[in-house]
Amino acid sequence: MPGSASNTCLGPWPKDVGIIAMELYFPSQYVDQAELEEFDGVAAGKYTVGLGQARMGFCSDREDINSLCLTVVQRLMERNSLSYDCIGRLEVGTETIIDKSKSVKTVLMQLFEDSGNTDVEGIDTTNACYGGTAALFNAVNWVESSSWDGRYALVVAGDIAVYATGSARPTGGAGAVAMLIGPNAALAFERGLRGTHMQHAYDFYKPDMVSEYPVVDGKLSVECYLSALDRCYSVYRNKIHAQWQREGSDKHFSLDDFDFLVFHSPYCKLVQKSVARLMLNDFLKHPSPDTEAGPFAGFDAFRDVKPEETYFDRDVEKAFMKASAQLFETKTKASLLLSSQNGNMYTPSVYGCLASLIAQHTASQLAGQRVGLFSYGSGFAATLYSLRVTQDHTPGSALDKLVSSLTDLRVRLDSRRKMSPAAFSEIMKLREETHHLASYVPRSSVEDLFPGTWYLTRVDDKHRREYARRALDDELPAEPELVRTASASEHIPSPVKKMPRMPTAVAGPVAGPGATSSN
């Protein structure tokens, strides 16, 4: 059973360490990208076709990084009927910094008070959109280490992505993902298969401590993202080849060996280009590609291209996007549901894409599959790694429960309120002017939040923040103390399948608009 030290060890490691459960949170309001195009006075299709974005979620002044993470953690614990004393490590990945010293993790410890559990390792990790992945690796490494005490690890990735008025603003978004980590997981990490690339660049960064807005070099950011993808794929491929050779196989690795591919998604069009990019890598590394038939037909002219010279080569991009279209449709497109409908969540982005993939497949379709994940954070840091889905998809299995818990994703997205671009613009202006203030009481309505959402009530004159939680409806216990106590060695019960729908109240007026970054 996940979390049990007594029966999960295989050699020196617990067996199949990975993701057991997931929970998502995104704001209850969004702006339509087609309407935003008109409001911003840009050409129709610039955001919807050029970026591949349909809607963008955003937060009012009632929400900050602490409230987002409080919401998603409590939601995961309630939906899986878990007690807080079964968590031994809590890691947070975020780049939404509201305090240069106090971690988000320490704020989350409020949820643990009634359980009496203060023996919880871990702290915040920050590097643009990569922080969530670093936190996840830390959690997995803890479970596989001599420090593990048999309890679960909990990883939280959360961010509010906002940009100053201009061309980058449509690539914003907001949300949080919580992941329960332990042995016998539905999604197990493939041990030894991580390809990482780290390099110094000023493609996207936040030097202004007073502003939520980043400094962005859009073209450089895309180049860094694609170059990191090239390097990580090369390292991953070398490592899996080495594994296969030790097993006596001389098989050549290609994209065909990934059943699904999931990417950090600054905007959906870049993900589609990334699939094409990996096909280019396969083509260039293939010892003797067939350019007469098959996916590489007619590609003789590209045989000697240098990858570092093709980041903005339209001929190469067009040819390989066309050649990889079917691969994108079958392996990646389903993962972009949340990204297209909510926008870039920064650290949770790649995990929102993973959840989207799971939400749109059955347990039997996912069983036994290899999922490749590419995580990128500007500055920059990147890793390509893989998860193996368990073969067991029987009713009540870990995989069945994970899939069931995410099947309502589209319903939840459709339950949000649509806000006008003018109202969105006013909210952005309000956040810009107030997010750093002391002695501040938020102005937006609490009733516009999803039931069960934590929200900011006030910031006192010493910048101390206070929070409350909007009541849940009757579908879930109203308070955490009503949740059944479970030891880490017990099976996680089937999650509640229905999420409370959003209230129908319409929000008051609020604010507008948006270089494209790959943070």
Helices (H) and strands (E) in the chain, counts: 14, 18
CA gap 414, 60 in Å, rounded? 19
Q: Which of 361, 360, 356, 388 is nearest to 372 (CA)?
A: 388
Query: DSSP code of 12?
Result: T
CA gap 458, 461 in Å, rounded? 10
Q: Do residues 515 and 378 make contact, with C-beta atoms less than 8 angstroms apart?
A: no
Q: Do residues 237 and 189 make contact, with C-beta atoms less than 8 angstroms apart?
A: no
Residue of 63, 78, 91, 264 marked catalytic: 264
Name residues whose C-beta falls within 8 Å of residue 40's C-beta, 6 or more positions apart in sequence.
Answer: 169, 170, 421, 512, 513, 514
Known catalytic residue at 129: yes
Known catalytic residue at 264: yes
Facing residues of 257 across strands? none
Q: Which of 136, 127, 126 is nearest to 180 (CA)?
A: 136
Residue of 78, 95, 190, 212 marked catalytic: 95
Known catalytic residue at 190: no
Identify the sign of the CA torsion 99, 100, 103, 106: negative
Residue of 59, 86, 129, 353 marked catalytic: 129
Alpha-helix residue ranges (DSSP H) falling in 332-455: 337-342, 349-359, 363-366, 398-406, 409-414, 421-434
Angle at 204 between CA 200 and CA 205, to 5 degrees: 85
Paired tokens of 306: 């240098």
Q: Which of 263, 287, 293, 266 is nearest to 276 (CA)?
A: 263
Instruction: Tell me: is residue 269 an annotated ligand-binding position.
Output: yes
- The residue ranges of DSSP E strands in 199-301, in sequence order, are 204-205, 215-216, 260-263
Angle at 140 between CA 484 and CA 226, to 5 degrees: 125
Task: Name the one residue in this structure whose structure tokens are 């010293």.
Answer: 101
Catalytic residue numbers? 95, 129, 264
Q: Which residues are annotated as a binding site for CoA?
A: 221, 269, 273
